[in-house]
Structure 1
Amino acid sequence: MDPRSFADERSESRLYVGNLDLRITEAALIKMFSPYGKIISEDFLWHTRGPKRGEPRGFAFIQYSTKEEAKLAKEKMHGRLACGRPLMVRLASEKYLEEAAAQNSSKAGCNTIKSGTTSTISGQVSRSAKIAATKNKLKALDEERDGAKKPKAS
């Protein structure tokens, strides 16, 4: 079995859950998403350093056993209020598309997000698109860092 096909299948059954209120716990998140299928893993992200160390980062990943369960959970949970905030739920593979599109649109100076320009026919993100998105992100971070180091002119 090709390891890349396994990774693609895995990303199709993995959800990105964003805009989480800081009061939401891992247990609460699992309880909210378990009615839609068998959850095989959950990654709740925490700040590991700095002044917010030990606090939730406001997003998580949930891995279902099948892509159908993940799609159902996405449909049912996207936009649903949790602690007064609408959840942002996407397939984890869609996150790469959005980041690449956001990078492209910010360079062009427009506010629209291009959709589907980096995807393959099957709707999956190509490896080269993921690499391009990562390179763009690193370049943007370098530019931010370089801008912060320069003394501001008065």
Structure 2
Amino acid sequence: MDSNNFNDDKLESRLYIGNLDLRITEAALIKMFSPFGKIVSEDFLWHTRGPKRGEPRGYAFIQFSSKEEAIRAKEKMHGRMACGRPLVVRLASEKYPVEGLASSKNVEGSRSGLSGGGCGQINRSAKIAAIKNKLKAMDEEGCKNSKKQKLNDESCADGSENPSAER
């Protein structure tokens, strides 16, 4: 039972820090959060593959020695501007607040095609639906264009000039 309490305390003293500007370094992040307590560990995430390999991913995790320190850091740093961007700071154990955002992201995703940003199944489903709708519209437009071409070809069978026909 003690090991469960230890793991719970560890999770509750771990912070997620998001919306990090790419110019923010590990050292700068530690310097920003060290006034709130003893930092036990820091995980700064980097792209490991692809064209962005070696670049920061834009988020990190910081582990404080106590839950109280983590909560204090969260309260003081959430929304604070760093390199022109507001930091997103929450306990790593907290689930991302989907209520309220779910319906707006779904509508936004289906309206604008592919909306960037958020995470979760709702946003992914909206993206998939938008892609399917776009492919269907393109397919229907392709059919209309081929019917128009066919009509143009038939109307020119009497020998008149067809400007769209290839020579």
TM-score, normalised with respect to structure 1: 0.67
Is the 8 Å Cα contact of residues 81 and 87 (structure 2) preserved in structure 1?
Answer: yes
SS at 2:73 equivalent: helix
Residue 135 of structure 2 corresponds to 152
Paired residues, number: 127
C-alpha change, 1:2 and 1:76, in structure 2 (3 Å) is same
**Mapped partners of 1:21, 1:108: distance in 2:** 23
What corresponds to 1:127 in structure 2?
none
Structure 2: give runs of 5+ residues left out of the alignment. 109-118, 139-167
Alignment-mate amino acid for residue 98 of structure 1? P
Counterparts of 1:54-133 in structure 2, within 5 Å, are 54-94=54-94, 96-98=95-97, 101=99, 105-106=102-103
- 1:19-46 alpha-carbon deviations (Å, 9 max, x no partner): 1000000000000000100000000011
Residue 109 to residue 29, structure 1, CA distance change in 2 (3 Å): closer
Query: For structure 1, which runs of at least 5 residues remain unmatched after alignment?
Result: 112-135
Report the residue type matching 1:28 in the other structure: A
For 2:51 and 2:128, how far apart are their aligned partners in 1?
19
| Alignment partner, residue 12 of structure 1 | 12
Cα–Cα, structure 1 residues 12 and 110, in superposed 2: closer, same or farther, change >3 Å?
farther
Query: 2:38 corresponds to which residue?
Result: 38
Give the distance between the partners of 1:109 and 1:140, measured in 2 at CA. 6
**Compared CA separation, residues 75 and 143, structure 1 to 2 (3 A):** closer
Larger Rg: 2
Q: Hey, what's the Cα distance between the residues in 2 that align with 1:110 and 1:141?
A: 12
Using the TM superposition, name which of 75-84 and 18-27 deviates more.
75-84
The 3 A distance-change label for structure 1 pair 17 and 108 is: closer
